[in-house]
Structure 1
Amino acid sequence: MKTNLKEWKSGVNNGIPIAMGYFAVSFTFGILAKQAGLNPFEAVLMSVTNLTSAGQFAGLTLLSGAAAIVEIVMTQFIINSRYFLMSFALSQKINPNTSIFHRMTMAYGITDEVFGVSIALPRKLSPYYTYGVMSVAIPGWALGTLLGVISGNILPPRLISALSIALYGMLLAVIIPPAKGNKILSGLIVVSMGMSLIFAELPILSSISSGLKIIVLTFVIAGFAAIVFPVKEHAYE
């Protein structure tokens, strides 16, 4: 019990910066949700049931354009498919005897940032650590959404634009610390950035959806790294 509580507290401490970043990003989402015609309940419900900034912003665009339900579902499936890969990766760090309840609860709260701090732990992953991160990150996302909807169109466009880049700063804060002193990880980050640029600039590749791009790049880069630079099992013990 004490170990679980310690793991949870550790997760909370590492989740506070994520919650702050989520608040800024979801505040912008809340403003856009208000403009799209969603009320506070609908916007917050969307945030707590679909924990993905890319998916939610894309969903708003589709809702505003009166897209068909099938189109919305397929778009969300493609954009959020990367979480399958993240869950697969985290499943290798937890105890094989972890119950299905813990696995499903962890899977619900997996986002890019929650995955980042969880996979970066230099030890086996306890579900309670991830619960700690989730317990502050998810409320931060929901609260930002609520206040954004309430604020409506009060804030000036420049401030809204500034808030929209908070997510990228948060992602950098997740990947930079583990990369320090790790040449392999640093190199993979640079390769990822280079390949992402190629996918964005080449006409034949730029038309691919952002979710599918992430899946392809993850399979290629992570697969290459796993084969060439495998991590020994005892590294997390």
Structure 2
Amino acid sequence: MGEVKLIGAWGSSMTWRVQMLLKMKGIEHEYVEEDLANKSPLLLQHNPVHKKVPVLLHNGKAIAESLVIIQYIEETWENGPSLLPKNPYDRAVARFWAKYFDETCIPAMLKASKTAGEEREKAKEEAIELLKFLDNEVKGKKFFGGDTIGLVDIALSFGSYWFDIISEIVGLELITKDKLPNLCQWIDEFVNHSFVKENLPDRGRLTQIFTMFLGSAAK
């Protein structure tokens, strides 16, 4: 299927999404680590609009944005497991929830992590209300994809591992068993899935990076 190259950054949950699917499908690729503090000509050339990782290069053609990349991989490589269901309606629903988490939940969760006092409490409640839709969606299921990991599970990886580290650093309790019991159960299933667990970035190193970033952002 030609040359495949992934431009990404260590510790980026968006990069990790794409890496996971490439590994799940056994797609050989070259990984190019990007320094986000000093963005390379390669990144700026292939993602001049957002200037962000990840970017997938397939035979020299660039695809940007993690969810777009994932769907491109799904449509291009039929080998290995699929993250999307076969039924068109179910595929549309999965795409909806993945986009909902990215565009609605992540900004609300980050807002709660960056505020304090009454403002934090208000932001936290707003984020919880948004996450309740996902909590209800995964009720009675092992994963959002059913018995196997699917698109929504990969999309929500930020909420399962990365945001847990951020919450620990800033002292935020957001995704709790009393407020979001089904999401909590899903997180436990997801991060302890053998394939996910062996591919998660080192927690200690990630904690150091987030601590530095959150500290500089607060100044």
The two structures share one fold, judged by TM-score above 0.5: no
TM-score normalised by L of structure 2: 0.30
Greater helix share, structure number: 1
Q: Which has the larger radius of gyration?
A: 1
TM-score normalised by L of structure 1: 0.28
